[in-house]
Amino acid sequence: MVALSKIFEAKLFLCCVGKEDAFERVIKRLRQSDVKYEIKFLERLSHRALTFEILSKKVDLLVIEPYKEGFIRLFKKDPVKRLIEHPPCNIILFKPHLSP
């Protein structure tokens, strides 16, 4: 993310789902860089909340990882999939990191 922000000379808007302490390593790296950034923490991931943040911040490029699959996904719609199907801006999709 930091490299992309530097290449495009863009402000980085990071939208995190969950508690702040879970993103401590990412926040530390951002503070050490010379990249302009803003962080928003969401309690839960929803298509409406993500779309609102993207449109209100006038985001040009969204870099996202697919939402983790699980039992709950059988009953709920995947908000990331909905963003990909109806993108409010350009999107780069990363394959999720899988641990061995």
Structural domain of residue 51, as residue ranges? Answer: 2-93
CB atoms within 10 A of CB 50: 21
> Per-residue pLDDT tens for 80-96?
788 888 888 888 877 65
Q: Is residue 13 part of a domain?
A: yes
The answer for residues whose C-beta is within 8 angstroms of residue 40's C-beta and 6 or more apart is: 13, 14, 15, 16, 53
pLDDT at 68 over 70: no
Q: Is residue 62 part of a domain?
A: yes
Domain of 35, CATH number, reads: 3.40.50.620
Q: Is residue 15 part of a domain?
A: yes
pLDDT at 99 over 60: no
| Distance between first and last Cα of the chain | 24
Q: Is residue 99 part of a domain?
A: no
Q: Is residue 60 part of a domain?
A: yes
Work out how many domains the chain is built from and give that number.
1
Q: Is residue 39 part of a domain?
A: yes
> Per-residue pLDDT tens for 11-42?
788 777 777 777 888 888 888 888 888 888 87
Any idea which of 4-18, 47-61, 63-77 has the lowest mean pLDDT?
63-77
Q: Is residue 89 part of a domain?
A: yes
Q: Is residue 85 part of a domain?
A: yes
pLDDT band at 75 (very low <50, low <70, confident <90, very high): low
